[in-house]
Structure formats: structure tokens, C-alpha cells
Amino acid sequence: MRQIILVIMLLFLTSISMLGQVNVSIGWERDTIELGNEVNLLLFLKVLHETEINTVSGGFLDSLISGFQTIKMREADTTRSKEFEYADAEVVNYGQFSIDEDDGVFTDSELSWQRSEVGGEVLLSNKFRMRIWDPGQIIASNPIVEYTIQGQNFISNQKYQAPLYVRPPIDIAVMEKDSFDISPIKTIIKEPINWSDYRPYALAFFGIVLALASFFFYKNYQKRRKALPVEKVEIIIPAHEIALDKLRGLDQKKLWQSDIKTYQSELTHIVREYLENRYHIPALETTTDEIVNAIQKKELTSDVIGEMKNILQVADLVKFAKSKPSLNIHQEFMEKALEFVQETKKIIIEPEVTDDQ
């Protein structure tokens, strides 16, 4: 009887660990930056509601692998005494995390997350502002996360890497020294003057005369013309018409049935492009949080802002955390995107034309 109870308890604990496993992933906000510039390193944790995050190792911020330096080290050191060479990088900002003690570990009191929920999944995220001083490929690895579910402690040590390419500045080529020897100075050979020596001056004179004649002919021609100049009218297509046309085209493709990641990327790109054209904010090159902060200054209701934020956060969940929401969410978000554009479109009031005009 005791053996049966032990087997049941073992199966129960195993099922808890499998069901409550924390999915840890990281990603760079951009694929390429220039040497010395700043970039955000995004940390994502996909958990259940009852999961408690205890600690997150901070060593992954100081252990960015420099592909360029590693290759140089391996070429010089035939013993291969080291496996990797770490990049020269610094943490400019820790996002929502704080540092009470510099012990290389973020404890429960130092952790603070950006939290979003989709169905039964919870996405915890934080962004670290980094500055990289090594050129070439830079690789970041997942941190070790300790967490608790129903009183049981677990450790997530998933092996996931995110590459970033740091573009070096353009080198100015050093000009090589001229290898030609200096020839001795020769005497000047004088030639007799002939008509060909005056040909450039003659051509210049006739060119000036022709230009003046053309100018006076053109001025007289303009005076004889009585037709009014034709004004070019530039047709500007409103931002909401562009967005609605693209959204309907994406909806007809039915990409969410075959490629969810591409569908969400195109959907959020259309929404970001509309926000940039409509409210003149750099939505295509900023994060979701920065877009929400900028759009809150506009005359929009909290419900409209919340719908837009939810659409962008789900796209982040699919792109970085590799989440797979239910299929009906994609069609629902398409309808919400169409509704958002309709509700926020700019209404142009044309002036009234009176009989006197």
C-alpha cells in the first residue's frame, strides 16, 4: 500500500512540474545596431496564474558572447583553454528591475514585471537597455529562473540564444605611398600659334550668343502666351483609408490559418503604420510601451487605447514567447483593428460652397 501511495505522489509532482513549467526566452529589440549605440534586450516569461517567480540570475547580462573575439581567441590559442570570449557591454538601464544588492541575482524584492494575459497564459516581461562596444555578432543566453508552484520549488535553465549584429563604423582607407620615381625636368618645347588655339574662345563666344538669343526668344514666347498656368493638385489619401484597405487585404489572405507569426506581424505593422500616419508618432520604430505612452496624450478613450495595447502585446507574445493563442483571437483582433481605425479616423470638414462663389 505504501508503494502505491509513493507512486501516486511521484506522478502528481511530475504532472505539476510539467503543467507549470516556466517558458523563458529573450530577444533583441533590433537585429542590427551600430557600434556604441544602445539597444533593448527583452526578457519574457510565460507562466501560469499561480506561479511565483523567486529569483532571476543576473549573470546573463554580463555574459554576452562576442563571436568576433571568440574566433580571434580560438585562432590564436590552439589549446582551446576557453570556450567563449565575452563581449564588452554595459547595462544602461535595468527596466522595471531594481538592484538592492550587487550579488548577481535578482531576488523577489528586486523583480517587477510588465504583465499581460491572453486566455490562460500570463506573459511577464522586462527590458534592459544595453550599450555594446564589440563589433560583429553578439549572442545573449537565457537566465536561470527559480520559481514556486503550489509550494514546490523548480528551476528553469532552458538553453535559448538571441543573436545581435553590431555594425562597426566605416574605416577610412589609408592611401599608399606613391611608388613612381620623380622624372628629371625636361626643357619646354614651344609650338607655333595657329587657328586651333583660338577655337575654345570662338566656341565660348558663339555659345554665349546662342544662350542670349534663346533667352530673349523664350521671354517673348512667354509674353505671347495668354493661357493661365496649370496648377498641379496633389491627391493625399487619408491614413484611415490606407489602413482599412490593407487590413481587408490581409483578412482575405487568411494567413492566421497557416502562418500565425507572419499574420500577427503584418497586422501589427498596419496598426503601427496607421498610428504613425494618423498621430505623427514613430510607431514603426518604438516598443509597445512607448507607443501607449505617446498615444495617451491624444484625445482617445481608455477603452480604445486598451484595445490597441492588447493587439500589440499579443503580437509580442507570438513573436518573442512563441505563444499559440486560440484561433478565434486572430479574427477577433482583425475586427478590433478595423473598429479601432474607424473610431479614430480623422474627419475632414470641407468648406461650404455658397451661391456667391
pLDDT digits (tens, 9 = 90+) for 172-211: 444 444 444 555 676 777 777 777 777 888 888 889 999 9
Beta carbons of 94 and 113 less than 8 angstroms apart:
no
- Give me the half-sphere count of Cα atoms (radius 13 Å) on the Cβ side of residue 211: 6
CA distance 32 to 164: 6
**Residue that wins the pLDDT comparison between 167 and 159:** 167
Average pLDDT over residues 136-147: 89
Give pLDDT tens digits for 41-59. Answer: 998 989 888 888 999 988 8
CA nearest to 136, candidates 98, 106, 96, 166:
166
Instruction: Write b or e for each residue in 341-356: b if 16 or more Cβ atoms lie within 10 A of its Cβ, otherwise e.
Output: beebbeeeeeeeeeee
- Strands 161-167, 32-34: pairing is parallel
Beta carbons of 143 and 60 less than 8 angstroms apart:
yes
Q: Grid coordinates representing 256? A: 492566421
Q: Grid coordinates representing 304? A: 480604445
Asked whether the predicted pLDDT for residue 129 surpasses 90, the reply is yes
- Kindly report whether the global pTM for this prediction surpasses the value 0.85: no
pLDDT interval class at 348 (50, 70, 90) = low
Q: Report DSSP state, residue 62.
A: T
Residue 125 is predicted with a pLDDT of 92
Residue 278 is predicted with a pLDDT of 84
pLDDT interval class at 232 (50, 70, 90) = low
Q: What is the DSSP string of 129-171?
A: EEEE-S-EEEEEEPPPEEEEETTEEEEE----EEEEEEEPPPP
CA distance 292 to 224: 60
Asked whether the predicted pLDDT for residue 297 surpasses 50, the reply is yes
**Residue that wins the pLDDT comparison between 79 and 128:** 128
The region, left, alpha or beta by phi > 0 then psi within -120 to 50, assigned to residue 118 is beta
The beta strands (E) that lie in the chain are given as 23-28, 32-34, 38-47, 52-57, 65-66, 89-93, 105-106, 114-118, 121-132, 136-141, 145-149, 152-156, 161-167
Mean pLDDT over the full length of the chain: 78
